């Protein structure tokens, strides 16, 4: 009897603990990347998919959220030390024929703009070994290191697209440049439209004048063709010096 009680107790304990083991005892698969924005289909960060032809360099991509991981892929570079990863900054790099491409995405456009000034100043010092190209594309700060061909590097940078909407938390620091650009564009369009209207008016006036002159000339020519004689005296008595005026017949003269 006691043996049956022990067996029932052990069976109850097993039945109570087995579901817990099923839920918590199995190994949980961790994602390969930890990113703030990943694709819902395959769990790959969106930043990786913004690399040009990312699937062709998939095995050589390095996704980094700290300076150390980035230095492993790119080596010790002064530019890498300037990247601020404290506010959720993410970076991805991959080698291409044109050079080593690095895309940095900041959590806010303000942070991207601040580091943009740092990068520009550092590149002006020419402290980087090898030729380096840099461009700020939307909220991305993009580098091409160890460039061999300038045109190839620019072509690689042109393939990087920023497909998000940038919203400033405060006042847009570039509002002066945007206002100037809008003024220049609107003024240029107004100037071009005015010039086109004036040229079209002049052209229509010339064409209208030529057509009117031709019509008037044809009408006068037709009237002259119907005249038997021509007199520039308007029909008055004149000297017949040119022989165009017909002779006055004697029968029309008054007799003596």
> Among 105-114, 196-205, 218-227, which is the least confidently predicted range?
218-227
pLDDT at 29 (0 to 100):
38
Band of residue 24 on the pLDDT scale cut at 50, 70, 90: very low
Whether this prediction's pTM lies above 0.85 is answered by no
pLDDT at 56 (0 to 100):
87
Query: How does pLDDT run across 158-191, given as a tens digit for each residue?
Result: 998 887 665 666 777 777 887 888 888 899 899 9
> How many angstroms separate the Cα of 155 from the Cα of each of 94, 150, 152, 219?
16, 9, 5, 67
pLDDT at 108 (0 to 100):
82
Query: How does pLDDT run across 59-70, given as a tens digit for each residue?
Result: 889 898 888 888
Q: SS3 of 110, please?
A: helix
């Amino acid at each position: 009897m006691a043996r049956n009680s022990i067996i029932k107790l052990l069976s109850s304990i097993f039945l109570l603990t087995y579901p817990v083991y099923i839920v918590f005892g199995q190994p949980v698969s961790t994602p390969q990347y930890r990113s703030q924005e990943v694709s819902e289909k395959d769990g790959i960060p969106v930043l990786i998919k913004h690399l040009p032809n990312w699937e062709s360099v998939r095995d050589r991509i390095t996704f980094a959220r700290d300076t150390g991981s980035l230095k492993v892929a790119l080596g010790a570079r002064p530019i890498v030390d300037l990247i601020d990863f404290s506010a959720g900054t993410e970076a991805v790099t991959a080698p291409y024929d044109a050079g080593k491409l690095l895309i940095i995405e900041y959590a806010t456009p303000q942070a991207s703009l601040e580091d943009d000034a740092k990068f520009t100043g550092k590149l002006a010092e020419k402290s980087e070994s090898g030729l380096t190209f840099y461009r700020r594309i939307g909220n991305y700060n993009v580098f091409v290191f160890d460039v061999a061909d300038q045109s190839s590097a620019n072509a690689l940078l042109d393939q990087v697209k920023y497909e998000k909407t940038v919203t400033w938390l405060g006042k847009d620091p570039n509002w002066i440049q945007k206002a100037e650009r809008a003024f220049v564009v609107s003024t240029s369009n107004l100037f071009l439209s005015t010039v086109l209207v004036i040229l079209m008016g002049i052209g229509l006036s010339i064409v209208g004048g030529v057509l009117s002159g031709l019509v008037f000339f044809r009408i006068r020519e037709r009237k002259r063709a119907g005249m038997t004689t021509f007199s520039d005296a308007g029909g008055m008595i004149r000297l017949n010096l040119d022989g165009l005026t017909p002779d006055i017949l004697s029968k029309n003269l008054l007799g003596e």
